[in-house]
Structure 1
Amino acid sequence: MGFNDVMVVRDIDRAKAFKKYLMPNEQSVLAVRRHPASLLRYVLEVFGGLILAGFVSEWLGPGLGMTVVWLAWLFLLGRLLWKVVTWSIEYFIVTEHRLLYIRGLIDRRIGMIPLKKVTDINLERPLQGRLLDYGTFIMESAGQDQAFRNVTFMPYPEQLYFEVSTMIFGLEDPGDD
């Protein structure tokens, strides 16, 4: 799977989900969802809970205990579905002027950092991130208060790091030393 596949949206007209958060004179250069690995914990909880619920309900037999066990598993399943829906509308967007991080289903949160204010960007890749191809971006800005600092589970981390760094540091005039 290459850099231009699946999660990266380069044509803003195809991404109506976040177009309303851009200024009229602004075009999205890059928009990306978090890596699906961000859902892995919840998927594992659902499958582990299913196995556990099967064993426990067999041990308990029919009755109130079995009902409680399966209701607990349904809670895990509902939480997974909630996380999938939330993940599907969450975007990290880079425009020619700013970085945006849009998240939240009911309580919508839009964080913004002007590109000119970003002083540093770091990429962290733990072992599981290297295996599954994701990383964490850590942004430092010129102000003390930031709308967001970390963006976890970024797919194609080296490519995104290169593109975002090029945009941030490409704004500087090469004549300034």
Structure 2
Amino acid sequence: MGYPHNVLANDEQVVLHRHPHWKRLIGAVVVLVLASAVAAFAAAVVNTTDWQSTAKNVLFIVIGAIWLIVVGWLTVWPFLNWWTTHFVITDRRVMYRHGVLTRAGIDIPLARINSVEFRHGLSDRLLRTGTLIIESASQDPLEFHDIPRVERVHSLLYHEVFDTLGSEESPS
């Protein structure tokens, strides 16, 4: 899903658009597999009983409803959160938007960025992800977690900031 271009200025160009790293979805996938296995096992146990078909159908409905609630809450909702979280770098600003039902976001003009850092541990290095830390002129440093290929994003953002500052400060 591309970032909605209607939030960009007329001649603003997207340099980079990322969702959080897929590692945020590992727990959701594990829950999906385990919940499905437990529901299938429970349905198989119910199916082997010699109860009346009405009782079996009621139990199948209960198992299905519990499965839907668990999967919806612990699998679908995290996926929607991941899908609706955007980290965008344009030629003018850094934008971060997140939220499914209620949206929140922040914009940082490139000209106001003082420093750009990244941090990642061993597991993040193996998965090629990390935390990007942006310090702007008027705020405490902002941390953006689980940015895919954080070193590349750090370098790209640093060059965009340098190019922006260089073009504004260079004598014409």
Aligning the two structures, in what range does the TM-score lie when normalised by the shorter sequence?
A: 0.7 to 0.9
Asked if 1:107 corresponds to 2:102, the answer is yes
Asked if 1:159 corresponds to 2:159, the answer is no
Q: Unaligned regions of 5+ residues in structure 1, if any?
A: 1-6, 8-14
Q: TM-score, normalised by structure 2?
A: 0.74
Question: How far did residue 129 of structure 1 move?
Answer: 1.4
AA aligned opposite 1:125: H
Question: How far did residue 131 of structure 1 move?
Answer: 1.9
Question: How far did residue 112 of structure 1 move?
Answer: 0.6
Distance of 1:173 and 1:130 partners within structure 2:
32
Q: Is the 8 A contact 2:88 2:94 kept in 1?
A: yes
Distance of 1:109 and 1:78 partners within structure 2:
22
Question: How far did residue 162 of structure 1 move?
Answer: 0.9
RMSD: 3.1
Identity %: 26
1:78 corresponds to which of 61, 72, 93: 72
How many corresponding residue pairs? 160
Q: TM-score, normalised by structure 1?
A: 0.72
SS at match of 1:99: strand
Q: 1:91 to 1:66 in 2, by over 3 A?
A: same
Distance of 2:23 and 2:161 partners within structure 1:
27
Question: How far did residue 27 of structure 1 move?
Answer: 1.4
Q: Specify the structure having the higher radius of gyration (Cα).
A: 2
Distance of 2:88 and 2:121 partners within structure 1:
23
